[in-house]
Amino acid sequence: MQRPYNFSAGPAAIPAEVLEQAAAEMLDWHGSGMGVMEMSHRGKEFISIYEQAEADLRELLAVPAHFKILFMQGGGLAENAIVPLNLSRAATVDFVVTGSWSQKSQKEARKYAAEVNVIASGEDQGFTTLPDPAQWRPSKGASYLHLCSNETINGVEFHELPDLHALGCDAPLVIDFSSHVASRPVDWSRVGLAFGGAQKNLGPAGLTLVVVREDLLGHALPTCPSAFDYRVVADNQSMYNTPPTWGIYMAGLTFQWLKRQREGTASGIAAMEQRNIAKAQLLYEAIDNSSLYVNKVAANCRSRMNIPFFLRDETRNDAFLAGAKQRGLLQLKGHKSVGGMRASIYNAMPLAGVQALVDYMREFEQQHA
C-alpha cells in the first residue's frame, strides 16, 4: 500500500518499517505475553528496551562518555523551564533569538534566572537570517548561552554550531535541536547540553531527549522539582518517575532503523545527512526556479528539515492545499503565525516524497500561470 506523504512539522511521519514492527509486537513483545505499554518500567523486559535504545542513540550521535543521555517528558517547551532550573544558578543567562522557539525560550527563562540577555537576534530581519557569531557579545560570567539550532517555524538552521571559546566565552552552549536531531552529526566539543522533543525526528510525542555534560549536573535551584533535576534523573537512569515507556520503545525502533540506513559507503547519521541535503536541495531549487513560489530565508541558513514557502498570489493557497491533499501530499499548511506553506522533510520522508511534492508544485504552477 502506498501511504500518503506526510509533511507535518510534528508530530511527524515515522518510518513505515518502524510502525509495522510496532504493530507486529503490539500484543506480545518478543514472547513476553505483554505489549510494551503494559510492562513495568522496572521489569527486565523494559529495562532491556531502555538500555538498547540508550546505547543505540549514543552510537548514532557519537555522544561522548562524559555526557548523560536522559529520557524525559514535557517536550521542548518544558525544557525551556527545566534548563534554567538546572543551569541558571539564579544568575545571568544569554540567548540568541533566531525565531519563534528561541523567543519562547528566553521568555520562559526570565522566571528563573536573575538576568536574561538577548545578545543577538534576527528579529529585525524577520527571522530570515542568522546573526553572525563574530558580532555576538556574550555576558561575562553567564551560566549558559542558549540557541535553537533549527527553527521549525521560521525555517532557519545553524549549519555549524558556534565555537563559544573562540568568542572568548566560557559558558556552556545549550541547543534546542528538536527539529533536526539525528538529521546530521553533532559537534559535542561545542555543546554543554542539547534537548529536543522526539515527535519530529525520533518517534511519537511524549518523549523528550536531553543530552547533558556531566559537569553540568548537580546545580539545580532549590525550587526545582526532583523529577526535573537532571542529577536525580541521571542517577536513576531516567526512571526516578515512570518514563514514557512507549515513546522510548518507538524511539529505540527508530534508532535501529537509522543504523540500517545506507548511502554509498555512508551509514547511520552520515547517510541521513547526505539524503537530507539532497532532499532539501531538490525542493529549494524548485522554489527558487519558480515564478509562483518564494522562500524568504537567506541561502546560507536555510533549514534542511523545515522549508516554509509562500505563493506569490496567496488567493490560491486553498486551491494549492486541496490539490495537494488529492495527490496524497498532506499537512503542507504553514504555521498560523507566519502563514503560507511549510514542508517538513524529516528523516522519515523519502526522496520520492519530495519529488512528488516538486512535481505537484510545477504542475500547479503551470495550471495557474
Task: pLDDT tens for the chain, 369 residues: list them.
Answer: 689 999 999 999 999 999 999 999 999 999 999 999 999 999 999 999 999 999 999 999 999 999 999 999 999 999 999 999 999 999 999 999 999 989 999 999 999 999 999 999 999 999 999 999 999 999 999 999 999 999 999 999 999 999 999 999 999 999 999 999 999 999 999 999 999 999 999 999 999 999 999 999 999 999 999 999 999 999 999 999 999 999 999 999 999 999 999 999 999 999 999 999 999 999 999 999 999 999 999 999 999 999 999 999 999 999 999 999 999 999 999 999 899 999 999 999 999 999 999 999 999 999 987
Q: Is 170 a catalytic residue?
A: no
Q: Is 111 a catalytic residue?
A: no
The C-alpha atoms of residue 254 and residue 53 are separated, in whole angstroms, by 9
The active-site residue, picked from 56, 68, 94, 176, is: 176
Specify the pLDDT at position 368. 86
74, 76, 80, 85: CA torsion to nearest 10 = 50
Q: What single-letter amino acid sits at 298?
A: A
Q: Is 104 a catalytic residue?
A: no
The C-alpha atoms of residue 175 and residue 321 are separated, in whole angstroms, by 33
The active-site residue, picked from 29, 94, 200, 333, is: 200
Specify the pLDDT at position 2. 86
The active-site residue, picked from 29, 101, 279, 333, is: 101
The C-alpha atoms of residue 152 and residue 100 are separated, in whole angstroms, by 8
Domains of the chain (ranges, CATH numbers)? 17-258 (3.40.640.10), 265-367 (3.90.1150.10)
What predicted TM-score, i.e. pTM, was given to this entire model? Answer: 0.97
